[in-house]
């Protein structure tokens, strides 16, 4: 899985260095237009981008990540209007979602056109369109002037990078240009919404929530419950790509019950606990990683992948991590956590 050779000298830019900002954007845009690969920050996770109209460039993405080209990629634009030249029919629902939530952490599925590389859509007749709100992502896409196909900038099998250091860890030597921004604001991938059916469907929960979408479009409600009922029932049905190296135990219960459980737990292996602050203060563990305040679940969403990456680096072999209620961003958090989980510990009150 990690056999791809790091064969190039990546040009690395710090986007927070204002003296180099224009040069960084020019260099990244040129690389993409010449069929190269560029790592760039967005508000969700770091992306690994290529010119979506250039088939051989898009194929390099799969090589660099070390994964087979089965999954379709999301195509990124500087503004939504730019997509019309490249896609087929855009439904009213897609336009409405774009009006309300773009730029932002949401992706709409629309009919594909003929202008994009067939590898981007992996043989489907639809295509995923996203307009990031991150200023660096916007400026890069604008400078590139072409649609940019991009999955997350991690080696296949690792959690998505939400910090420049983790994008560098995986992609230094594999991408032509790496743009380092700050930490990703959201920290989880975008909400993916299929807008080609009469009622729109949530294919993947993210920071733009079902509650918000329902206010502006007609939502197929069974698509919400699918991701929510996935917990304990089907841990086998997970993609491994959100998974840290460690064995992951997802713990669900009140603060009290979790504290008691962790205090009785046998930390025999190299363990980490990823918990809310109200729990961390009451337990002893070698590695304690914070999900912040239970009442601010955005913090947990923001830091989950970064904590997983930290654990991989530290050689952690067992992780205890907190579940949370599936309202709002909790839906996206649990969706990713479910896919990383090996075992559930349901403690109740």
Is residue 326 within the footprint of Mg ion (CB under 5 A)?
no
Beta carbon of residue 187, minimum distance to ligand AMP (angstroms, whole number)? 13
Q: Which is nearer to ligand AMP, 195 or 251 (CB)?
A: 195
What is the spatial distance between Cα 261 and Cα 264, in angstroms, rounded to a whole number?
5
Out of 61, 74, 102, 175, which residue is the one contacting ligand AMP (CB under 6 A)? 74
Using CB atoms within 10 A of its CB, is residue 4 exposed (0-12), middle (13-18) or buried (19+)?
middle
Residue list 113-152, contact with ligand AMP (CB under 6 A): 121, 124, 126-128, 151-152
Is residue 274 within the footprint of ligand AMP (CB under 6 A)?
no
Whether cis (ω within 30° of 0) applies to the bond prior to 135 is no
Under rule CB under 5 A, how many of the chain's residues touch Mg ion?
2
The DSSP H or E segment spanning 176 is none
Is residue 25 within the footprint of ligand AMP (CB under 6 A)?
no
Residue 279 touches which member of Mg ion, ligand AMP, none, C-beta under 5-8 Å by kind:
none
Residue 128 touches which member of Mg ion, ligand AMP, none, C-beta under 5-8 Å by kind:
ligand AMP
Instruction: Choose among 131, 128, 141: nearest CA to 72.
Output: 128
Is residue 42 within the footprint of ligand AMP (CB under 6 A)?
no
How many angstroms from the chain centroid is the CA of residue 91? 25
Under rule CB under 6 A, how many of the chain's residues touch ligand AMP?
16
How is 78-118 classified by DSSP, letter by letter?
A: SSGGGGGGTBS---HHHHHHHHHH-SSSEEEEEEB-SSS-H
**Cβ contact 327:282 at 8 Å:** no
Beta carbon of residue 63, minimum distance to ligand AMP (angstroms, whole number)? 16
| Residue with tokens 């773009």, as numbered in its chain | 102
Residue 121 touches which member of Mg ion, ligand AMP, none, C-beta under 5-8 Å by kind:
ligand AMP
Out of 25, 28, 73, 280, which residue is the one contacting ligand AMP (CB under 6 A)? 73
- First and final CA of the chain: distance in angstroms? 41
Using CB atoms within 10 A of its CB, is residue 237 exposed (0-12), middle (13-18) or buried (19+)?
exposed
| Residue with tokens 């491994």, as numbered in its chain | 240
Beta carbon of residue 121, minimum distance to ligand AMP (angstroms, whole number)? 6
Our CA angle for 150, 305, 156, nearest 5°, is 45
Region from 67-75, 208-216, 273-281, 323-331 binding ligand AMP, contact rule CB under 6 A: 67-75
Residues that bind ligand AMP (CB under 6 A): 71-74, 109, 121, 124, 126-128, 151-152, 189, 192, 203-204
Binding site for Mg ion (CB under 5 A): 151-152
């Amino acid at each position: 899985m990690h056999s791809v050779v790091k064969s190039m000298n990546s040009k690395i830019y710090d986007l927070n260095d204002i003296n180099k900002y224009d040069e960084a954007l020019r260099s990244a845009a040129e690389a993409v237009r010449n069929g190269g690969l560029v790592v760039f920050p967005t508000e969700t996770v770091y992306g690994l981008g290529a010119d979506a109209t250039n088939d051989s460039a898009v194929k390099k993405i799969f090589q660099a990540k070390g994964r087979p080209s089965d999954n379709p990629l999301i195509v990124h634009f500087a503004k939504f209007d730019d997509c019309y030249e490249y896609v087929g029919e855009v439904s009213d629902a897609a336009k409405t979602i774009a009006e309300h939530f773009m730029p932002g952490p949401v992706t709409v599925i629309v009919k594909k056109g003929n202008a994009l590389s067939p590898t981007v859509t992996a043989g489907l007749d639809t295509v995923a369109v996203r307009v990031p709100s991150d200023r660096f992502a916007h400026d890069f896409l604008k400078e590139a002037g072409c649609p940019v196909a991009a999955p997350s900038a991690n080696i296949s099998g690792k959690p998505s990078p939400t910090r420049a250091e983790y994008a560098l860890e995986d992609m230094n030597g594999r991408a032509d240009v790496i743009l380092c921004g700050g930490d990703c604001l959201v920290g989880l991938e975008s909400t993916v919404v299929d807008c080609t059916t009469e009622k729109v469907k949530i294919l993947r929960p993210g920071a733009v929530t079902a509650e918000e979408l329902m206010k502006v479009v007609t939502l197929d409600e069974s698509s919400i419950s699918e991701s929510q009922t996935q917990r304990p029932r089907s841990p086998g049905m997970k993609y491994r790509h959100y998974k840290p190296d460690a064995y992951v135990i997802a713990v669900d219960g009140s603060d009290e019950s979790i504290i008691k459980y962790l205090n009785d737990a046998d930390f025999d292996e190299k363990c980490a606990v990823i918990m809310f602050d109200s729990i961390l203060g009451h337990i002893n563990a070698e590695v304690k990683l914070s999900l912040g305040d239970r009442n601010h679940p955005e913090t947990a969403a923001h830091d989950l992948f970064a904590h997983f990456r930290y654990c991989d680096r530290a050689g952690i072999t067992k992780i205890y991590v907190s579940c949370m209620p599936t309202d709002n961003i909790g839906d996206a958090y649990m969706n990713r956590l479910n896919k990383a989980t090996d075992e559930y510990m349901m403690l109740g009150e």
